[in-house]
Every structure is written in structure tokens, then in C-alpha cells.
Amino acid sequence: MIQRLAVVLSEAAISDLDTIALYILESSGSDSVATSFVDRIKDRCHSIGNAPRGGRPRDDIVPGLRMVPFEHSAVIAYVVESNIVRIVNVFYGGRDYETLMRGGEPS
């Protein structure tokens, strides 16, 4: 039987979600559109616990890092720790997540 792992969002991931919500609110003018989108991202984050090894391994960026796309507009970055999935970041809108994850400034 496959064990479902708990999912924890890092402070950086929570900040990313707040930034995404604000961006969508400003772009759409609709609080409900922004809230709905961020809620769907959160649901997707929590569903990673059902298949934690399902994301694409990205050890080339950070050892143990995995990534999954979300609705063609975001990427969820996470690591699997002993008994949890830690969501590290959520990148939106084609941001250069590889450079950001490596500690550089995007061009």
C-alpha cells in the first residue's frame, strides 16, 4: 500500500502564492478569479502527497528537487523529506525558476 505523505508549504511558497494572487487580482480585477486560481494551486500541492515521487526530478538544480507543472502557467517545486513533501516554491508566468533556484538573478 502506498502511503500518502503530508504536504507542508514553505514560507517562500506561501509568499509565492500571495504574490500570484496579487498579480492575478491586479490583472483580472477579480478577487474571486485570483482566489480560485490560488486555491487550485494549493489543492494541486496537497495532491502531490498522494504520489510524491511523481514529479520530474531536478537534481541538476538542487539535490532532491522535483517539479510538477500546473495548468500550463505555473511550476510547483518540492522536495520529499522523510515523511513529508515540502513545497519549496511556486513559480508563475514563465519565471526563470532554474536561475532563481540556483540563487541567481533572472535575466
pLDDT digits (tens, 9 = 90+) for 35-49: 999 999 999 999 999
Question: Residue 83 is part of a domain; what is its CATH number?
Answer: 3.30.2310.20
Which distant-in-sequence residues (6+ apart) come within 8 Å of 94 by Cβ?
none
Which pLDDT score, from 0 to 100, does residue 98 have?
64
Nearest CA-CA partner of 55 in 83, 29, 77, 39: 77
**Gyration radius of the chain over CA positions:** 14
Q: Is the pLDDT of residue 107 over 60?
A: no
pLDDT above 90: percentage of residues in the chain? 76
| pLDDT computed for residue 82 by the predictor | 86
Pinpoint the alpha helices (H) of the chain: 11-28, 31-47, 97-101
Overall domain count for the chain: 1
User: Per the domain annotation, does 14 fall within a domain?
Assistant: yes
In a domain, 35, yes or no: yes
In a domain, 107, yes or no: no
Q: Which of 11-20, 72-81, 88-97 has the lowest mean pLDDT?
A: 88-97
- Give the structural domain span for 87: 6-101
Residue 74 lies in a domain: yes
pLDDT at 3: 74
pLDDT of residue 93: 79
Q: How confident is the model at residue 87 (pLDDT cuts 50, 70, 90)?
A: very high
For residues 105 and 89, the model is more confident at 89
